[in-house]
Structure 1
């Protein structure tokens, strides 16, 4: 989805501007009297035999010409002409035709904003009409102009988000009777949950509707909605999204486990950091108490798939303790470097701990303390531990809305070693890591859930075995010590003694700063958060998680 620009105001007489190009927008009429630049024909193309093929960066005039032709043609209903000014005419024509015929959107007025390089933001105002019912539609989106390599012609880079920012490849805009009735979602105290009050819950509310709309006994209304590509529903499990309700229908009621106080606090905490996500849950039951993301287009907290960095050492430590390869109070190697599978691994700032315990290595997040044990493990050991004890990676969680259940694939050589410290092929999200620290705290996996299984009598995922009493005791001690005197101590200050925490930093190719992770428990609360490109987890995600544990205590 493109970043929304600031759109120019609609006016009868006030000119709209794309860069230095001026056009008068006439309400209800054509797009305006634009001056077109360059030797563009009716289809926006140039004649190859008139001049050599242009290369290099696009000029401001070329961007203005392509954008103007496309927007003018679209607004005037000349779909084929608008599509011809894109780099995928067939897809563009299908989408713009569907906009009119499937979405029943008419009276389109497009107002450009200020050009930024090759990008032109614009606002859309139109009317949705279906079976005698009408509602206004307004939103902002943008287009980008590119140069076609074979002939140098400037064209609109076609993507579904040009039509609407919520559209992805394969999605459609459709107006009609909704197949799924609306729902009224309640928090644990009986209050109504809305996206206006809790912006992070937009995708959650869409998911609740898709799963419980029919079961809750509501009646469908007439809506303009984004219908997701069928394959995406299976793979990404992204629910359809309602954009405009022409007829509201009658909602059914679904109660969730969300705490209004914690949800409000979570929204405020993630707003302090870009690309931040957090989940709060109750370790003893699995109830999800809060979920929030600072970006509201994708629910990273539930559906993200990110390397968890050193927070993965919670699972790895339980494996090493189970196998007798580590013990909290016993001496354990933490050298500057360890080589395994042809890769040379090191600690942050190349530190080492001489004659230290495993507890000291865990608290300092010593990578080599874990990599050094790789040669004593089988390739599938970590995968089995994650599945059998922590309930991860089996794609069987049923929390009430779409979620990703973590992935710890079987790997070999250097990739297997990297998995021990949360890199390699390991993928998690804050929901997964809140569950991991909850299992470490209680000793038994309780599948997280947002809607009680008593509502629809669904089964929850189970783990094959709990942590042994000895492993659980040592794992809790490792986490307590890290919260009291290790890398998590600053964030967790004042929250003890019944607490534990682990920090993490996960390197990402092409990203200057690593993703910062933090997961912790306090009493019967657990939380996990990630700040993408946030740097060290104790400094980025740590304050978010700790603040929520304080709020709920």
Structure 2
């Protein structure tokens, strides 16, 4: 049968369908499939042939700049078309050549070579990415599983896009406290922070903008991520409080533990000496993290007990195996023997939970006492820190019921970041709250937060108990061999039945540091070695 005849037959069936409504539609399907049933929809993972065909069609359309066509080979056409259109029109990327690698199952790695052009300037663009081919849920077709990172690995969130043009902010040369240059190449975890500093202070640092290809992020207030510089602007010089030596130690230390963050501050001034993260998501959890700090919170709790006359470092703070507060039973970490004759110093340096739980209902303590101590003495939880970049000030809300007891040991509703706990240690060490900051406040006339700080006797007792913890208690092995005036507090925080988050904070001379490692176990197991390395470099 010739094509014309076949078309006539199909056309005749279509006419019958229109005349006979639903009945005609059923006959059309039957006639086209020849089996009297609906077309078969494929299921299961795409075959190797389907993976090659789907990815090949997508790559070909992308190379030719056919955004709509390439998007049609994905499982989310609308966002794919929008980003692929921006790839050519807003990012000014042309001459795209894609070289696929060997597929691993349904995943296809590939490399991209292209050119970015703007005005008379152009630069090569070379990078690697990967895509995955999946089965369409309704169509059964093999389709590219859409994700912005397919187009470029720096596109991490829906709505992120690529733009080439005059920089939103002039470039900066960030320098440390000794005028040493800080770059994301030498200090990788500073990358997002340097981008933020450029966005916030580029205009104030005296530079002029250049032409760049950037990732424009939509999540929160994230700064643009620079990918290719076509023409250099004039960089302004931006001072920071960081110490290149301490930063280098922090960068190296977090690399040994996944999902880890650390901050070091100078207690006598509040200056941030180092901030480092080793996280898959690239987030600055060191400044912005909001998680339970575990037993490192006992520094604040001990201060509350001392300030309210409930306990003193040499006064009784029995450590039984269990303690019950309003129907909830609390236990100590496995392996910690009970000590009914323990003092507060004993209970603190061995990190006994039950000893603190038994004291939180003493007069004159209330549901808001820990909150008041945190806010008034340690400057926490008031949303008024101005560090120079985005940061979290900690949260210690008034809590009734079992959470009042849980808060006292750094669980419950308490949330902290390593920055917060480094500040807590600095306040304990000096007795004065000095708000941490990364950029000198004189650069933009910021007013730093203030708080009462600690009474001299309270500061003395906290410092002594931290010294005992570092030399005789749970932090002894971690801190062994460090010279100078040292103190520490370990912590671990249970999270939804998963492995505990590891916390550790400590001081050495005029450096205080705190670290957290997600699912890192006890404080001495992951966070402790990180803090030790930082204190060794800076103390």
- TM-score by length of structure 2 reads 0.86
Write out per-residue CA displacement over residues 321-343 of structure 1, whole angstroms, 9 at most, x where no aligned residue: 22223321122132222333543
Question: Which one of 356, 363, 366 corresponds to residue 352 of structure 2?
Answer: 366
Aligned to 1:163: 151
Task: State the 1:63 CA deviation.
Answer: 4.4
Question: Which one of 187, 191, 195 corresponds to residue 202 of structure 1?
Answer: 191
**1:251–1:418 CA distance, 2 compared to 1 (3 A):** same
Following superposition of structure 1 onto structure 2, how do residues 526-541 of structure 1 map, counting pairs within 5 Å? 526-541=512-527
Task: State the 1:410 CA deviation.
Answer: 3.4
Aligned to 1:318: 303
CA distance in 2, matches of 1:286, 1:276: 22
Write out per-residue CA displacement over residues 230-269 of structure 1, whole angstroms, 9 at most, x where no aligned residue: x611xxxx22211111111111111112222222222222
Question: Which one of 469, 485, 493 corresponds to residue 456 of structure 2?
Answer: 469
CA distance in 2, matches of 1:378, 1:150: 59
Kept in 1, the 8 Å contact 2:55–2:144? The answer is yes
CA distance in 1, matches of 2:324, 2:151: 51
Q: Does 2:237 align with 1:253? A: yes
Per mean C-alpha deviation after superposition, the further-off stretch among 352-361 and 205-214 is 352-361
Kept in 1, the 8 Å contact 2:243–2:273? The answer is yes
Write out per-residue CA displacement over residues 127-172 of structure 1, whole angstroms, 9 at most, x where no aligned residue: 1111121111122233334444445444333232222222222322
CA distance in 2, matches of 1:158, 1:412: 46
Q: Does 2:161 align with 1:172? A: yes
Following superposition of structure 1 onto structure 2, how do residues 21-40 of structure 1 map, counting pairs within 5 Å? none
CA distance in 2, matches of 1:59, 1:417: 57
Q: Does 2:435 align with 1:458? A: no
CA distance in 2, matches of 1:248, 1:406: 40
CA distance in 2, matches of 1:189, 1:255: 9
Aligned to 1:347: 332
Task: State the 1:228 CA deviation.
Answer: 2.2
Query: Counting helix residues as a fraction of each chain, which structure ranks higher?
Result: 2
CA distance in 2, matches of 1:510, 1:140: 38
Long gaps (5+) in structure 2: 1-36
Task: State the 1:350 CA deviation.
Answer: 6.3
Instruction: Determine helix, strand or coil for the equivalent of 1:143.
Output: strand
Aligned to 2:475: 488
Instruction: Determine helix, strand or coil for the equivalent of 1:134.
Output: strand
**1:510–1:174 CA distance, 2 compared to 1 (3 A):** farther
Q: Does 2:320 align with 1:335? A: yes
Long gaps (5+) in structure 1: 1-47
Kept in 2, the 8 Å contact 1:79–1:96? The answer is yes
Kept in 2, the 8 Å contact 1:336–1:350? The answer is no
Instruction: Determine helix, strand or coil for the equivalent of 1:279.
Output: strand
Aligned to 1:223: 212
CA distance in 1, matches of 2:492, 2:103: 37
Aligned to 2:77: 89
Larger radius of gyration: 2
CA distance in 2, matches of 1:339, 1:126: 66
**1:345–1:222 CA distance, 2 compared to 1 (3 A):** same
Matched pairs, number: 498
CA distance in 2, matches of 1:219, 1:479: 49
Following superposition of structure 1 onto structure 2, how do residues 479-518 of structure 1 map, counting pairs within 5 Å? 479-495=466-482, 498-509=485-496, 511=498, 513-518=499-504
**1:244–1:389 CA distance, 2 compared to 1 (3 A):** same
Instruction: Determine helix, strand or coil for the equivalent of 1:454.
Output: helix
**1:275–1:316 CA distance, 2 compared to 1 (3 A):** same
Root-mean-square deviation (CA, aligned residues, Å) is: 2.3
**1:338–1:124 CA distance, 2 compared to 1 (3 A):** farther
**1:370–1:71 CA distance, 2 compared to 1 (3 A):** farther
CA distance in 2, matches of 1:72, 1:303: 42
CA distance in 1, matches of 2:369, 2:341: 27
Q: Does 2:166 align with 1:181? A: no
Aligned to 2:20: none
Q: Does 2:268 align with 1:279? A: no
- TM-score by length of structure 1 reads 0.84
Kept in 2, the 8 Å contact 1:400–1:449? The answer is yes
Instruction: Determine helix, strand or coil for the equivalent of 1:100.
Output: helix
CA distance in 1, matches of 2:361, 2:305: 12
Kept in 2, the 8 Å contact 1:484–1:496? The answer is no
CA distance in 2, matches of 1:271, 1:365: 27
**1:130–1:481 CA distance, 2 compared to 1 (3 A):** same
